[in-house]
Amino acid sequence: MTLLTFFLSRILRIKNCPLNAAGKYKCTTHDDETECELIVYVKNRFLRALEDLTVDEGKAALFECQMADKEAKVVWYVKGDRVLEGVDDKFEVKVLANGVHQLVINDCRELDAGDVRCQCGDLKTEAALKVKVKEKPPKVEVDKDQEDADGKLRGKYKGE
């Protein structure tokens, strides 16, 4: 903090104003008194951005980011669509301590793959969700009454 004098004026200058400088300030002279309140806003930014994820089909995907402003509200988007909280069990939106925000996508399927975005005003961070699809068992067409002498069935593979 620096107190400057400019003719009959006094200026209190606070550079790189810390959050704890917020509060009421009072200036008193012989003949006058004035007060003001200093409100310090956090210069918001992402301290930790989203990271790309690859999950197995049927598993949950957890996306996490952290904002400098611990009180900031964020909006989540999946494949360009806004995530609405509490609509179904597919998405869980969590706000943890220290500005940490989480999006959980439950029971991931191949169609869930795509871009995930967390946005706070003009600030945003993006990541990709990839879903590893489980290998499906081959389809085999079994001919009826085609049992071998050893008890094994004969069939034809139907590739897909």
Taking only the tens place, the pLDDT of each residue in 70-125 is 989 999 999 999 999 888 899 999 999 999 999 999 999 999 999 999 999 999 99
32: exposed, middle or buried (C-beta count within 10 Å: 0-12, 13-18, 19+)? exposed
Is 5 within 8 Å of 12 (Cβ atoms)?
no
Count Cβ neighbours within 10 Å for each residue of 81-109 and write b for 16 or more, e otherwise: eebeeeeeeebeeeeeeebebebebeebe
Cα-to-chain-centroid distance, residue 39: 28
CATH of domain 46-132: 2.60.40.10
Q: What is the SS3 assignment for 145? A: strand
| pTM metric for this prediction | 0.66
Check whether 139 has a pLDDT greater than 80: no
Dihedral, 91, 93, 94, 99 alpha carbons, nearest 10: 140
What do you get for the CA distance between the two ends of the chain, in Å? 73
pLDDT score, position 146: 60
Domain boundaries, the chain: 2-38, 46-132
